[in-house]
DNA sequence: TACACTAATTGTAATTAATACAAAAAGTAT
DNA sequence: ATACTTTTTGTATTAATTACAATTAGTGTA
């Protein structure tokens, strides 16, 4: 694998009709930028870092890093998440690649945006040698951001709403056993709309991968709610049929 | 802009805790690969080239090229389409970025996949110095492809089905004035399902951006169909509300 | 001119789904 | 035992979907 970078000087993809030496093509870099959304009690947040180095020192930014020469894109995104939160096994989803020529002051760097959704309480954001600070910001109050990160965040917020209805990334923000009210509130927060409780429940009731348990809430000052759990095996069949929640 | 590649040797994104010199990051390249779908008379095809150079010489492949140092990603995709077909002003949509470390034999090259949909008849595919041949292939009969292009094609076919219901990329494959039957057949072909004619029409009838004209077919040996046209201005309002065809 | 032919267009009845509520139920706290 | 609160079930109305059948408007032919 190492010698994958021992580049010959011969043509790679096409004859060089524009007279640019092939070397010129191998002088760019790519990064991943991670939009880590956090959910907690009907609030949607995003994890931002305060940059510790130039360019854009002191600016708030999305956590991200250059991809190492022998590192897969997905692995780089997972690494950034892990560095910052110590979390692993949280699925990161690729959203879009941003590649404007002048987006990075130090050279040609295109960046691949990823998103994840986590429970705010599961994380103690770590500062590091590349970030002076790391903090949750409400999605409603985002400071000025470095690079083109504002645009990246916007695109990823839109993508989150699309992904949440077809992929069970929400399992990371609910307890293993959850009530239908918790489930509904989570969707209401992320999709930014409200649902009638009775009707919402009716739709859910047909969905087999949400399995009702024989347990109920305790110590609540009202009728206790039944508890449900997500069944990944049953979900698989739904996914193959192209299931999406149609709210 | 030119000096964007006059890279300083200082840290770019983070301190170098893995002892990889910063130079190592600026030795990769990126390409665009274009999945150009073609539609004609209830058939979906894809435009493939036969490679004229190593690696994978003689293999069929998606048309693609390295991105020039001062070229935007979208522009590179448009250039590839134009080189091959002389078409311009066809919207290219970014789908996904593929970045496995070993996907390219000559070095670290990640590729950004784009798709477009065109009318087969509008194009006389051009061979060129980087492609021995260029031909339409039915989506049902795809030969062995170079690199990871098989996977890229699969992902883009899936993406086409999602995009077609929310974006009017289909305008490029229908005549300016079209019948509802043509419209239905196009969706049936691309989505790979069939619809009841009467019910399909009922759904369409509520959609204002498909405007019925005061004209009809002539010289058909059956009741002539009314002609419709797409109204981009009216569509804009639909798009802002997040419209999708729900078939 | 009348009639056959074909696909476009309209209509309809039966079923299913969406919506807006209201009523009942099951715990805890007093 | 009763009040309180939220869960859970129910219901009546409206709207959408579905699977067809019937009608229509041209062209081509006898």
Per-residue 3-state assignment (H helix, E strand, C coil) for chain B: CHHHHCCCCCCCCCCCCCCCCHHHHHCEEEEEEEEEEEEECCEEEEEEEEECCCCCCCCEECCEEECCCCCCHHHHHHHHHHHHHCCCCCCCEEEEEECCCCCCCCCCEEEEEEEEEEEHHHCCCCCECCEEEEEEEECCCCCCECCCHHHHHHHHHHHHHHHHCCCCHHHHHCCCCECHHHHHHHHHHHHCCCCCHHHHHHHHHCCCCEEEEEEECCCCCCCCCEEEEECHHHHHHHHHCCCCCCC
- pLDDT confidence bin for B3, thresholds 50/70/90: very low
Q: Residue B37: what are its φ and ψ, rounded to 5°? A: -85, 140
Inter-chain contact B69–A28, Cβ cutoff 8 Å? yes
Output the six-digit token pair for A69.
């020469």
Please say whether the dihedral angle defined by the alpha carbons of residues A11, A16, A22 and A27, taken in this order, is positive or negative: negative
Among B5, B11, B13, B62, the residue to mutate for chain A (most A Cβ within 10 A): B13
Instruction: Return the residue of A nearest to B68 by Cα.
Output: A25
Residue of B30, B34, B241 best to disrupt the A interface, most CBs of A under 10 A: B30
Residues in Cβ contact with B150 at an 8 Å cutoff, skipping those fewer than 6 apart: B142, B144
Residues 49..68 of A with a Cβ closer than 8 Å to B: which? 53-54, 64-68
Q: Which residues of A touch B110 (CB under 8 A)?
A: 30, 73, 112
CB A48 within 8 A of CB A36: no
Q: Which pLDDT value is given to residue B5? A: 30
Q: What pLDDT band is residue B48 in, cutting at 50, 70 and 90?
A: very high
Q: Which chain B residues touch A71 with a CB distance below 8 Å?
A: 101
How many Å apart are A199 CA and D14 C1'? 15
Give the per-residue pLDDT at A26: 65
Mean local confidence (pLDDT), A57-85 = 95
Contacts by residues B96-100 (CB-CB < 8 Å, ≥ 24 positions apart): B96/A94, B96/B152, B96/B155, B96/B156, B96/B159, B97/A73, B97/A94, B97/A97, B97/A112, B98/B148, B98/B151, B98/B152, B99/A30, B99/A67, B99/A72, B99/A73, B99/A74, B99/A112, B100/A72, B100/B148
- A66/B12 touch (CB, cutoff 8 Å), yes or no: yes
Rounded CA–C1' distance between A222 and D5, in angstroms: 5
Write down the mean pLDDT value for chain A. Answer: 89
Residues B196-232 have pLDDT tens digits of 999 999 999 999 999 999 999 999 999 999 999 999 9
Which residues of chain A does B7 touch, with a Cβ-Cβ cutoff of 8 Å? 27, 106-107
Count of A–B CB contacts within 8 Å?
147
Specify whether the CB–CB gap between B21 and B12 falls below 8 A: no
- The answer to whether B32 and B77 have CB atoms below 8 angstroms apart is yes
Decide: CB of B198 under 7 A of nucleic strand D. Answer: yes
Query: Once rounded to an integer, what is the mean pLDDT over residues A74-102?
Result: 95
Q: Which tens digit of pLDDT belongs to each residue from B112-163?
A: 999 999 999 998 877 666 788 999 999 999 999 999 999 999 999 999 999 9
- Mean pLDDT within B167-177: 97
Asked if B67 and A99 come within 8 Å (Cβ–Cβ), the reply is yes
**Are A4 and B110 inside 8 Å of each other by CB?**
no
pLDDT beyond 70 at B83: yes
What is the distance between the alpha carbons of residues B84 and B95, in angstroms, rounded to a whole number?
20
Q: CA A199: distance to chain centroid? A: 30
Residue A12 has pLDDT above 50, yes or no: no
Q: Specify the range with the lowest mean pLDDT, choosing from A231-240, B25-34, B65-74, B122-131.
A: B122-131
Give chain A positions within 8 Å (CB) of B71. 101
- pLDDT of res. B129: 65
Distance (Å) from CA A199 to C1' D12? Answer: 15
Tell whether B124 is within 8 A of chain A (Cβ). no
**DSSP string spanning A12-72?**
SSS--TT---GGGGGSBEEEEEEEEEEEETTEEEEEEEEE-SSSSTT-EE--EEEPPTT--
The DSSP line for A193-240 is ----HHHHHHHHHT-TTEEEEEEE--S-SSSPPEEEEE-HHHHHHHHH
Question: Does at least one atom of strand C sit less than 7 Å from the CB of A219?
Answer: yes
What gap in Å lies between CA A48 and CA A142, rounded to an integer?
9
- Is the model more confident about A24 or about B5? A24
Q: Which residue in the set B26, B69, B130 is minimally distant from A15, CB to CB?
A: B130
For chain A, how many residues are written?
A: 247
| CB B43, CB B138: distance < 8 Å | yes
Q: What is the pLDDT of residue A165?
A: 97
Whether A38 and A5 have beta carbons less than 8 Å apart is answered as no
Q: Which nucleotides of C are covered by protein (CB under 7 A)?
A: 5-12, 18-22, 25-29
Measured at the alpha carbon of residue B85, what is the angle toward residues B93 and B138, in degrees to the nearest 5? 75
Task: Report residue B16's pLDDT band, with 50, 70 and 90 as the boundaries.
Answer: very low
Q: A180 pLDDT exceeds 90?
A: yes
Q: Which residues of B touch A70 (CB under 8 A)?
A: 101
The bases of strand D with some atom under 7 A from any protein CB are: 4-11, 17-21, 24-28
How many angstroms separate the CA atoms of B225 and B201, rounded?
Answer: 12
How confident is residue A21, by pLDDT bands cut at 50, 70 and 90? low
Task: Give chain B's mean pLDDT.
Answer: 89
- A73 has a chain B CB within 8 A of its CB: yes
pLDDT of B103 > 70? The answer is: yes
| Structure confidence at residue A24 (pLDDT) | 65
Mean pLDDT of A75-91: 94
């Amino acid at each position: 694998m190492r010698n994958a970078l021992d580049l010959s000087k011969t043509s790679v993809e096409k004859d060089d009709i524009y007279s640019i030496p092939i070397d010129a093509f191998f002088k760019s870099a790519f990064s991943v930028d991670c939009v880590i959304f956090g959910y907690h009690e009907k609030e949607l947040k995003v994890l931002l870092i305060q940059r510790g180095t130039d360019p854009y020192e002191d600016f708030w930014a999305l956590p991200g890093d250059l991809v190492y020469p022998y590192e897969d894109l997905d692995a780089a995104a997972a690494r950034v998440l892990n560095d910052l939160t110590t979390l692993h096994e949280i699925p990161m989803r690729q959203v879009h690649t941003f590649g404007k020529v002048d987006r990075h002051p130090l050279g040609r760097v295109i960046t691949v945006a990823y998103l994840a959704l986590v429970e705010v309480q599961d994380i103690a954001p770590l500062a590091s040698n590349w970030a002076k600070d790391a903090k949750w910001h409400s999605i409603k109050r985002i400071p000025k951001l470095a690079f083109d990160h504002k645009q990246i965040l916007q695109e990823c917020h839109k993508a989150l709403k699309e992904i949440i209805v077809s992929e069970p990334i929400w399992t990371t923000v609910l307890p293993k056993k959850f009530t239908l009210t918790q489930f509904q509130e989570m969707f209401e927060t992320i999709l930014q709309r409200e649902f009638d409780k009775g009707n919402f429940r009716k739709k859910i009731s047909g969905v087999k991968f949400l399995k009702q348990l024989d347990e109920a809430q305790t110590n609540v000052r009202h009728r206790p709610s039944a508890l449900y759990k997500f069944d990944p095996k049953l979900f698989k069949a739904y996914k193959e049929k192209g299931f999406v929640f149609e709210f």
